[in-house]
Amino acid sequence: MAHRFMAVDIGNSAWKFGFFDLPALSALGSRYPYPIDDRRDTDETFPNLTAWLDGLLRHGRDEKLNWAVAGVNRRRVTSFLDWLSARRPNDGVIQIKTADVPMVNRYDQPDRLGVDRLLGALAAWRMVSRAVMVVDIGTASKIDWVDSDGAFRGGAIFPGPQTAAGSLGEKTDLLPQVNLDGSARWPAANTVDGILCGIHAAQIGAVSYCYRAARAKFDAQPPVILTGGGARNLEEELAGLIPGPVQTTRDLVLSGIFLTFLALNSTSH
């Protein structure tokens, strides 16, 4: 087995690549985020990926890699696997599906659970080894609960900040598209600030609600682990609202992919 490993997380808004040295998960290696662009074919989507890989490989372009690919966009996953097969035919490649993740899954329809949610839950559980709330702020924001036995119990799904902003701009006559880099201020004295404030409040409010519900239902005061593109905007404020510890982990799903790869490899020998 090759001793260099690449995890690939294919989302609805971006591709993320995490480079690891086997066998220990100490920290993420170099990370290569790439935005989705539907205007280009997959062959043209990664003009810099080959050069990036060349800079990471110790023994040149022919060094063998292990790859594990997971994603919530099936078309893009298939396209990337085809691209990878054509570019690096000697590498080991697996596609991780929900059933592969080494975690008890108590979702009503386990095969309908997005693999990214279970991968993030696995990585969070391994970090704290106790009941934990996992908050992923992305195209769709997800708030998931892992119980004290390490089982995935489900959660909530709602529009992420960019999705909410885009929907307001598209579905209304007078509300503009906004740049989410701005700060949220309340009370907002103009429309743009009002949209920013409302979107931010919706994310914070959803997490706060789910946390209170978890405390009431499970009699727990769990840590909250934030991840996803919008996580950095929530950590400080949530820390003042939630009694449990709050921390941001940038690439939780990539870590979950790596942990799953290690589990699959250990069971195959």
| Residue ranges per structural domain of the chain | 4-95, 103-252
Residues of the chain with pLDDT under 50: 1, 25-29, 39, 41, 43
The residues, any chain, with a CB within 8 Å of residue 70's CB and separated by 6 or more, are: 7, 8, 9, 10, 77, 95, 96, 97, 115, 116, 119, 253, 257, 260
Q: Kindly report, residue by residue over 126-137, the tens digit of the pLDDT.
A: 999 999 999 999
Active site residue 100: no
Checking 177-182 for CB contacts under 8 A at 24+ apart, the result is 180/230
Q: Do domains 4-95 and 103-252 have the same CATH topology?
A: yes
4-95: CATH class: alpha beta
107 contacts: CB under 8 Å, gap ≥ 6 = 113, 152, 154
Q: What is the pLDDT of residue 63?
A: 80
DSSP string over the chain: --SEEEEEEE-SSEEEEEEEESS--SS---EEEEE--TTS-HHHH-TTHHHHHHHH-TT-TT---EEEEEES-HHHHHHHHHHHHHH-TTSEEEE--GGGSSS-B--SSGGGS-HHHHHHHHHHHHHHSS-EEEEE-SSEEEEEEE-TTS-EEEEEEEE-HHHHHHHHHHH-SSPPP--TTSPP-SS-SSHHHHHHHHHHHHHHHHHHHHHHHHHHHH-----EEEESTTGGGTHHHHHHH-SS-EEE-TTHHHHHHHHHHHHHHHHT-
Q: Which of 9, 116, 136, 251 is catalytic?
A: 116
Q: Give the domain 103-252 fold.
A: Nucleotidyltransferase; domain 5 (3.30.420)
